[in-house]
Structure 1
Amino acid sequence: MSTIDDLPPLSTVIEDHGLRARKSLGQNFLLDLNLTAKIARQAGDLTGCDVLEIGPGPGGLTRGLLSEGARRVLAIEKDGRCLPALAEIATRYPGQLQVIEGDALDIDPLAHLTPPIRVAANLPYNVGTELLVRWLTPPKWPPFWQSLTLMFQREVAERIVAVPGSKAYGRLALLAQWRCEARIVMGLPPEAFTPAPKVSSAVVHLTALPAPKFEADAEVLNRVVAMAFNQRRKMLRSALKGMGADIEDRLNAAGIKPTERAEQVSLEEFCALARAVAAP
């Protein structure tokens, strides 16, 4: 029996509704409701919060979020096969679960959410990084969300929290750490999922800061970082030559040696470089 509510175990739900996971949708179902409740707790105090969930599948994390006290959950699900199972959860938690069928990349959830808002999701592998980048790069900051609690492949999670000098350090780390506090809060082995993926997974918790850690224009910073890491093995004076003929002068103005490589440059230094590039 389930240990978090009086609904059937997820294995029964999947069998009853014929919900075999589809690789084309990036699906790997987490069946242990104790684990899904533990993930929900990593999102913090959910009472008084609306929660956006992407790709709920048969609803394991959805049930965890609701049982942990979420005021309301908005779940966006692309797989129409999952809707009857999610409808059963909505009946169990009247007025607390809204399900929208569709692609999360095409849907604006804000019309259906009331602040404060948190995001919690076992993201489908095939869209996880794209959704994260969108949430980290809104037109205005602070964003609509207070925190993101997201499950990724372990490799992606390590890229989000990576430090300078490591192989995982790159654009994703800089985007996340410029305006958020980011940390890995849970690890999950492949056998926790059905079907078991070939890689381990990890849950990352990101808390939005009121303002960026260092001053920089978001568009300029993103352009500099993307260009620097696009040719990460090259010295910055070569990798960034498309920024202008005077890029060495601007690197020096930012306190960065032109012979450095992107993976050696800290967030603070990249922000200084973005300011130098934006200067007249």
Structure 2
Amino acid sequence: MHRKDCQHTWHKKLDHRDPEAIKYMEMKNLATDLKITDCGIRGVCKTCVKGKMTRQPFPKMSFSKTQEPLDLIHTDVCGPMQTKTPGNKRYILTLIDDYSKYTVVYLMEYKSEVTEKIQDYVRNMKTKFKKVPKVIRSDRSREYVNASLKDFLRKEGIEVQYTVGYVPEQNGTAKRKNRYLLEMARCMLIESGLANKYWGEAVSTANYLQNRLYTRATGTTPFERWYGKKPSLQHVHTFGSIAYAHVPKELRRKLDEKAKEFVFVGYAENAKGYRLLDTSTNKITLL
């Protein structure tokens, strides 16, 4: 149905080059013996569709806006890490509130702990805010698509949303959060000189600080949107710095040292205190 010199024939002869580029070559006389005639047929080249199709770019910002905390929670698992923590942790579970961007991080030894950690998160939200998340969004990984978790969320009245397979952009909030946490933790380990096995402390500290730092997504800090008040940074110290802790008199003799040297590795989330590391024993002391 096509002529030997029509646009479709030339498109095939030139290995499916963009028809507009071929027309431009003829118009500018960039090659000899190139004459294109219009056969009058209009249609899509199926070969080009199959061989060249790409996804449409994803919008940088979501068009749907949440109105208050716990309207939507993004979650993802990052790992396994190449180095285990002293507590044998290899995975990071993040839970990000869409409205405030406030993030809760859990360190896990196995992916199978996801159900337990999400249950713990939901119960904590009920205690703090007297309500549960409305929607939890994740990818379709096995740790999220299981009967135990589905049954728990159904009983709590929480809607489950899964992203489309092989489209990680739909869970972009959680993916970006994991990247930011690891980048910040990597810098903290490099600056402090601590071994990579302390990545868990670095990630937890990075998350603690990110919750108290400005984010362009909301124009304020996640902490303020989550708790309704501005965060204080008076207690912030440099990760990996030397810290001295007082030894109670009940734990020492007359001539024993009255202070012990530790390494500062973070903040206690559920208590007023610091996480201090004894590198000789890998034990954490809360003071």
| Shared fold (TM-score, shorter chain, > 0.5) | no
Structure with the bigger percentage of helix: 1
Bin the TM-score by the shorter chain.
under 0.3
Q: TM-score, normalised by structure 1?
A: 0.27
Greater relative contact order (Cα 8 A, min sep 6): structure 1 or 2? 1
Structure with max Cα Rg: 2
Give TM-score scaled by structure 2 length: 0.27
